[in-house]
């Protein structure tokens, strides 16, 4: 995946938040707060020399929208 197409993703779950990069849906990390998830995914983007503001926030998405994203 080209670097310009890689972005961070934050999802809400019953017990907390999941966050990671779009090119690794199966490697999302768990966080207790939305703030921690956003900071974690932004750091992951910085670690790969990518724009840390390029984050897709799906915390208010409907369950079917999240399921479609994770396909």
Domain boundaries, the chain: 3-61
Over residues 22-67, the pLDDT tens digits come to: 888 778 899 999 999 999 999 999 999 999 999 999 999 998 888 8
Rounded CA gap, 28 and 63, in Å? 17
Total-model pTM: 0.83
Contact 20, 27 (CB under 8 A): yes
pLDDT at 1 over 60: no
């Amino acid at each position: 995946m080209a670097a310009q197409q890689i972005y961070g993703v934050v999802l809400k779950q019953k017990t907390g938040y999941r966050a990671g990069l779009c090119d690794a849906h199966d490697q999302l990390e768990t966080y207790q707060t939305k703030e921690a998830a956003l900071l974690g995914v932004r750091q992951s983007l910085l670690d790969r020399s990518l724009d840390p503001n390029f984050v897709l926030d799906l915390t208010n998405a409907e369950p079917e929208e999240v399921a479609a994203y994770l396909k």
